[in-house]
Every structure is written in structure tokens, then in C-alpha cells.
Chains A and B, each alone.
Chain A
Amino acid sequence: GAGVSQSPRYKVAKRGQDVALRCDPISGHVSLFWYQQALGQGPEFLTYFQNEAQLDKSGLPSDRFFAERPEGSVSTLKIQRTQQEDSAVYLCASSWDRYSTEAFFGQGTRLTVV
């Protein structure tokens, strides 16, 4: 596709519900990143994939957060048992190389936990 596509754009979840956020990176991009952007803050790194391998998950805030990219293309960020503090915009980015030297960002998924 022309850019990074994320779905859904908006998600409202009841506390305790599981959610899955999808990211379609730019075709051919080997690197994929997930960031969390809380209201009024800058994006914070969650995790990084190179092809299907998850090479860095140091930013995942708890074991309720899980990400996968099984075929090295589409990625899913899953949050189990959502809590109010999970409310944020989740941004996905992809790039040709592993160094995020030119990462292209999607529009994000705004998650609201009520």
C-alpha cells in the first residue's frame, strides 16, 4: 500500500476486555515498530520487529501486552484485560532498515478504556 495502515482507527473497550490492534506496514519494509502515545505526551517505544522476529520488546509495559508479526508483514498488538491506563494512541511505524532512520508512521489507533 501507499502508507502504513492501522485498524481500527478508534476502539472503545470496557475494562477487562481484550483488544487487538492491527498494523499493515509499507510493502517490503523489514522493520516494524509499535509506539504508545498517551494524551499530551510524545510517543514511547513498545516493541520492534525485524521481519517476523521480535528483536526488542523492552518497552512493553506489562505481560498483558503482546505483539506478533508471524509472516513478517502484518503485525498485531494485543492487550489483555485492558485497564484505564492503557488508554492511548497506539502508533505503528515501518522502515526499510533496522535503525528507524526513516520510519513511516501510521495514523494510529486511539484506544479508550472505560
Chain B
Amino acid sequence: AQSVTQPDIHITVSEGASLELRCNYSYGATPYLFWYVQSPGQGLQLLLKYFSGDTLVQGIKGFEAEFKRSQSSFNLRKPSVHWSDAAEYFCAVGDGTDKLIFGTGTRLQVFP
């Protein structure tokens, strides 16, 4: 069965610092991979997705993610974090059917 692991429950960075959020997945074939962001009281907003092709994916708000099949990873990165990036980030995997499997999330805190 598919699964997603986000090893970091909580990350704190200074504004302007770089960011990397880790995501590991378990799936037999090439998965569909997603990163979503959830601000307090808000729904999930799609940051980026990977289906096939170029393993470096660009998303909204300056985020990018790299699919590494050998490591079963899909880590999210941003070169310079803004205070408005503080939120909960969820990695998800889909197998091309109807459901997404989400990780438990990483809460990002940004200090000025």
C-alpha cells in the first residue's frame, strides 16, 4: 500500500534562509506526487505536482521539488523563506486512481 512519511513535524527557520522539507513515499510504480500548503483555518492549496518527465518541478510562491526515485523522495525547497510562508505543509502521493495519501505534515515557523 502507498504511504507517505514526513520525518519533520516542526521546522523553524529565519526569514530569508533557505528551506527544505522532506518527504519519502512508498509505492511500487512511478507515483503522482504533490505538495500542498495549509494556512490556519484554510483549505489545502496545491504548491506543485510531479507526474513524469523532468524530475525538478517548479511550483507557485517560489517553491520547487525534486523527485528522486532512488531515494523514494520528493523534497520541497525554497531558496529564501518569507514570513508569509509560515504554514503546515503536506506531501501526498496518488496512484492514478481516485484518492490521495497524505503525510502527517510539517509545520513551518518563520522567525523575523
Contacts and interface: CB of A to CB of B under 8 A. Distances in A.
Asked if chains A and B come from one complex, the reply is yes
Contacts of B46: 102-104
A56 B100 CA distance: 13
Contacts of A45: 99-101
A45 B4 CA distance: 14
Interface of A: 4, 31, 33, 35, 40-45, 48, 55-56, 59, 91, 93, 98-108
Given A42-B90, A101-B51, A59 B43 contact: no
Given A91-B44, A101-B51, 13 more contacts: A42-B103, A42-B104, A43-B44, A43-B90, A44-B102, A45-B99, A56-B99, A91-B43, A98-B98, A99-B97, A99-B98, A100-B99, A105-B36
Contacts of B49: 101-102
A41 B98 contact: no
B49 to A, nearest CB: 7
Given A40-B104, A41-B104, A43-B90, A107 B99 contact: no
A4 B43 contact: yes
A11 B105 CA distance: 24
A93 B38 CA distance: 14
Ranked 7 nearest A-B pairs via Cβ: A42-B102, A105-B43, A45-B99, A105-B44, A48-B98, A107-B43, A43-B102
